[in-house]
Structure 1
Amino acid sequence: MRPTRATALLTAGLVTLLGVPAGAAAAAGAPAHLYVNNQDGSNCSDSGSGTQAVPYCTISAAAKAVAPGQTVLIKPGKQYDEDVVVDRSGDPGKPITFAADPAAGGLQVDLTPYKRLAISGASHVVVRGLFTHGGVQVSRSSDVELDRIRASRPKGAALVVGEASSDVRVSRGNLVGIRVEGGAQRTVISRNLLSGSTGSPVSAADAPGTVVTNNTVYGYFCGPIIAVDGASTGSGVFNNVLVPQGASSCATPDPRPGISVAQSATTGTKADYNLIVNAPYSWSGTTYKDRASFEAATGQGAHDIVTPTADNIGAWEGSLTVDSADPTAPGVLPTDFHGNPTADDPGAPNTGKDGGYLDRGAYELQDGLSQVWMSVDRTYAPVGTAVEVQAVSNSNWSSTMTYEVDFGDGTAPVVTKQGTGPHGLAQHAYTKPGDYVIKVAAVNAVGKRVFTEQPVKATPAVPLTANFASAPVLPTSDDPIDRTRPLTVAVDTAASATPWPVETVTVDFGDGTTSARDDKLGSVRHTYNTPGEYQVTLSLVDVKGARSKVTKPVKVDYAASGYVATEPFRLMDTRTSGPLMAGVPHGMNLPVGLNVPGHVMSGSMASVVLNVTVTHATQDAFLAATPYYTERPTTSNLNVRAGGTVSNTVTVPASEFGQAFFTLNAGRADVIVDFVGYYQPNIGQRFSPVSPTRLADTREAGGALGAGQTRTVKVAGAAGIPAGASAVALNLTSTDTTAGTFVTAYPDPAKRPATSNLNPEPGKAKSNQVIVPVGPNGTITLYNHWGSTHLVVDVVGFYGKEGKALFTPVVPKRLADTRDTGRLAAGATATAAGVPAGAVGAVVNLTATESAGAGYLTAYGFGAARPDASSLNTLPGVTVPNHVTTPVGDGKISVYNGPWGGPTHVITDLLGYFTQG
């Protein structure tokens, strides 16, 4: 193989073949480009100045305005319904150019069928990327370049060059016939795909100096494939591939001449290095059946190849066209039909002139390079350790490839002819820790480059050290589909020191659960069943066999949450599915991520607020709610007498799988559960407790509620509750009840839900805390079903934008039990301690039992003034629970026993607490 040879320039004008040469510019004051765009919405106008904002609608309008040195960029896509006539001229070195807009990605400009292009009386003109079925005609013109033209014509040749035109160059086109005539001089036809028209695909008549070089020509019709007639002296036919086809319909069938030169044209005309498929020659009126006789008689065609079939010609390995042409022939171009450069196939002998490796015909075989792959023996390693790179490409000519390796640290790229081997493409040792990107470029012999890259990490040269950080994972949206489970933590192992790649990563979460992964440092999530402190152990093993282990405590707890109020709806009723049995936890699916009719629920609720009613109890019993199936807390939420009905608000965390469980300690009973609302981190409204304040008492105003009656109570804007509150926490008490009934509290008087909040009974004062969304005009509505009853409404707090505290649920926890210390006397106050520090409010389940008489309990913040409102009404011989939201002082709650009920035992269970921040 020889070095690339310089190719001969035909004329000084050839510099325009690949575009305007450096230094050429438009006329002084004129823009470099004019624009043509006829597509819808282009805002085009033929009366404008052809700017990109207001382009011309037609090519003809631009042809009338273009000045020397300007390029007309034509937008492809929609056909141009016009004949285009170019009759303006450029200047030497400053042609006027018409080209398809390169922004269109190589599309051609298409004229409507049978519209034509004519260049008439013009000089220094370039036309590139035009498609027409109406043909192209060049007349009385000079220094014209027609590049990448695709053309046909209903009759005759697609391109006609005539009427004494000169120096016309036709390159890289797809044309159905070219005819040069009428005294045209020095026409060059190079690297085109040509086919026959009604006569010869290429013909020159009275056209001296016509050069036909490196074309692929198919002779589909009768007559010679290339015909040089008349006074076409000094012409040349070189490096072409000529394929006769379809001769059966001709009056004189094959063999017809591949090349025919009339006697009048032989002076100074030359032909050589052509490849002809099974066709004779005709020279000066004599037919020669083979190459040898043709050369012997004329001295032409000494290096021609005549082959019987077209099976072995084309741009592929082993083709007769490859590396066999004359690179010094007139009209040779540096690029082929597709714009590919001249390339030397290392597997083919260079049989071209003087060992040249130009291919015959319109196409130049390329090596197929399009991709390179890289492998790195160590994607990370300590500084000072050599990183070895291997690379391979899909080049067909691997022996000609060059690889450039840039290690990304500022050092000079390594350039090598070797892609793979025992020591790799290149080796490099980083001197500083850091993240780097290795880039490999594969470059073939003609300069085509393809790239790939690989990130690597240079690590400090320190021992393997396991380390991790942990953080809770909290939801960031209220999407009903996404689910971020409570008590989820992320253990991020990326803080480990790993000078060598890690082979295994094992995280023991301390609850019997382990996560093991191969070579995957990073973050792993885990959801715990219960809050607590766990010992988490990270174990690492690297590729060198080194081991490291670290154990750290991880504290897991529920997160502070905002409250989302919903309109109440029934969630469960065992009266239709069968009662609860003593000691058997009854699971209930919470509406996590479910679209309950009329209610869109978040997928990430952390805890829920329920109104729970127990009825049809077969014996005295209590009910406990928990997020866990296997553990029943030592606390209770409701206490029921045999045959009685009792209701209470319950706040309980959602389990890992979005469930809650209820356990009855004795007998059987039915349980009815109404959904009230839920808490979720980052979502919902904050809470502000207020000192219990009475909002309504039907004994003093309005009278008792009769059967089926409602009463509206103003809540927002009263008792320190802001007008913008979204929900209120109330203590609802019934008294002087005439019949067993139920009471419902709800926001919209026009939409009473099929739920209940309180179950009044004759002769008993009963209480229950409720959380109710604020309805129209800042009100709530109370409904009584049977008989009549008086109702007392005490507000204990509100939720809204003005709220100041977030709620953190806890697994129910007992704070105080006077059964261990003695009953609380009438008029006395007990203290329940153990609320977490910083809490401003708490949610507790307050239970009175073994009461001596009918009285009341009031819960309030330790150290604060005692309010007049009550939190629970005691009954002699009856265990009475109530869900209570109360302020907290110094982590303590005060519980006052009213003066007339006598002594009673008081049990205080913590369900959650509120903190500011």
Structure 2
Amino acid sequence: MRLPTIAAAAAFAVLAGVVTVPAAQAAATTLYVRDTAACTDDGDGSAATPFCTVQAAADVVDPGQVVDITGTQDESVTITRSGTADAPIVFEGGAVRRPAGGTAPTITVRGAHDVTLRGMTVHGSTVTNAVLIDNAARVTLDRGTIQPDADPYGGADTVRVTGGSAAITVSRTTFGTRGRAVYADGGAGVTVSGNTITALGNFGVIAENVDSVAVTGNTLRDSCHRGVKVTGATTGSSIQNNVISEVLSSSISGYCPKGPTHPIEVDAAAAPGVTLDYNVADRYANVYRWAGTAYQTPAALHAATGQGAHDLLADQNDVTPTIDSGNADAPGVLDAVNGPRVDNLLVPNTGAGSIPYLDRGAREQQDRFANQHITVSASQAPVGGVVTVSGNVRSEWGSPVTCAIDFGDGTTTSVPSCAASHAYRATGTYTVKVTATTESRLSTGGSWSVKVVPAGGTLNPSLTATRLGGMTASFRVDSGGDPWNIVRTAFDFGDGHTLTAVSGIDHRYERPGTYQVRATVTDAGGTTATTSTSVTTLASGYVTHGPTRFLDTRSGVGAPAQKVAPYSTVRLKVGGRHGIPADVTAVAMNLTVTNATTDGYLTAHPAGQARPTASVVDFRTGVTVPGLTTVAVGGGHVDLFNGSPGTVDLIADVAGYYTKSGATAGFDPVYPSRLLDTRTGTGMPSPRTIAAGETFTQRVAGHYTGDVPINATSVLLNITVVNPRAAGHLTAFATGTANPQTSNLNYAAGQTTTNSVIAPIGIEGSVNFHPNATTDIVVDVIGYFAASGRSFLLPVSPLRTVDTRTGIGGRTGALPGRSTTDYTLAQGAPSLAYGPIAVMFNAKAVTPQRDGYLTAYHRDPVQLRPDAATLNFTAGGVTNNLAVTEDVTAAFHNGSDGTLDLVVDVTGYFYEY
């Protein structure tokens, strides 16, 4: 059905006063559009069987029905069915996009009346309109988004109103376009109100020969030509309350093809029927073109024509002129898209009409809360105890606040300051509801539960500590039956740090130790009491020691002067000897096996605990083999087990120990890197071997390749002796100190062998290396200890986490040559909220097919595999060494052309938290 053109007088009646968008009746049903597997265009459009396309719904929709759209529909839709004034047809939500290659408008309303498009996103193109309204009446586009994909210099009109259409409203919609945003030719009663129109390539709002057009309260930006243009005979038309800014000059090459520009233009035919007032524009050369004449300022226009009496020129970034200064009685005025009209108390009201504080442009500036803090003094209270609501609620404009309080037991009050008290008469659980409102229409509040219990009881708090990590604990207080809840607890953690919380808090200790923690508790009734507890960190710090010889079965140091019998254990006392405290938790020692009569292995573990399936050193008959290990201490002792059918001599040199008392150092792992290679000259002026009896000094702290800071006290190194000219041993010790006459590495002539060393750092950040036989030396750094170190050790009894021979660790089968395999080594770490940041372990290469090396490291996505080696091995042998990686996931690189089996025994985890 084609609707006859509505007369101009009727259209003007529609525009008079404040225009409102018709709403669907409460009884209206809903048709659903969903592009889902359940959809069908032959169904009933219910939620269970929605339509697949908007067009299918448009073909059957009846007055009062809502077409609910979800998602993006690629189609062109033509609406021909009509609603009524009391029961319009409503299309709501979703997005409609013209299908690729299509030439029809995205949405066409043709010959229909009483149709609303609400909250929709509509896409157009360079060749056709986004929305075409043709010979239609009482059509509203409200609160939507129009996004045509137009070219930079124009394109199709975004919303086109034609064919004598009448009573058309385009309101509170966001336009992003390069064409004409709204173009109407002919017809009557076209309202363009409250829109935000940006990125205009040509014009904003164009009305040609339209009777009763209202362009009201829009914000227009970035137009190359006119923001608003009205031409042709018209009556009762209005251009008011608009903000027009950033209208660009034609001098900007390549953007605006034509000029000059005027934000507002009304031709001679339209001028007698147009009211122009209450607009704000930038300071352009010529703001207006009125009846063929250009006017630079509102004053010039008003003096010549009587128009623009309240128009303003202002900088586009200054919003103050737009506030509380519009004409509320202008045709087409609506509530703003971002909220109600409100009075800014900081700006004088200079507007006109029924709402003297109406803002110009598409958006109403809203007040904001500067503070909206509301509290209820108790969540648990005794019968008769006073519960208080307190608030600090204020707005940026200083708008007066009213607070409505419902205490949940039938008692209500309304106060200006959100402050009121109440005593409950009966036990129970009550909900306190508070709503604070300002005269500027802001609202805030909330609800709180209050449990009312019998009176009696006192505050008798207790404090508990739960370890969350190696250095972190959680502290919680209990009121001990107090009828009031706890509102505040002041914690003193015993390490110089204090914090206040409600009833619990977590705390990280910067250094290992035992701490006395005090908690001062305040309940909601105002009573205060103190409680305390003791907490000891799980992790321990490192103390440099020696190196000092604690055991030598050849000479009777630390044990009888006799060889260790087959399959027997030497219990070595470390706590309370040579200055090591009795409460030592772990010891770093270099263990050496010598004079072995058969092949075997050595296991080190805490005394008094079951012997683990792990080994520190694997040895062969007659070969002297050293191995650094960190072993947990049990009762001040460690057990050393000779896992062979023959006898051996054992030597133990302590390089340091871990404790939770006194001044200790923390550990920082680093990405393995090479500090010294005498074969290539790395770390030295030129390549050369180190002569027998020579003490070679190497700087390790502050060295640019090792990431070890100058304040480090000890350094964890891998030392490799390459091609020694004779059998011998090597000692590493702090520069500036005497040679301790212990050995860190023993070797045979021509043998390449590796051992880890924790070396104390001496003067100028250096370490001395002393071989008693001429040799080449390679030194790799893998970590350091310092007073500022961030992680601390939780030692564990050695735990086998990888064994490719048996499948421990998740994989069975030898590692291929020249390959890298990742393993997770967290199996021995305790279950804590904060996990370890590094892991210490003994790595073992078993029966490799070819000579080579093994590198253990944590993969870094921005770094190449390190050139450092964890251990060097020979074909068919078994080689061990200590390693540390920066994460519990470690990568193992087999640097040989043959396969090998890998065994990993974890001895400790480093924790930062």
Q: TM-score, normalised by structure 2?
A: 0.48
Q: TM-score, normalised by structure 1?
A: 0.48
- Whose Rg is larger? 1
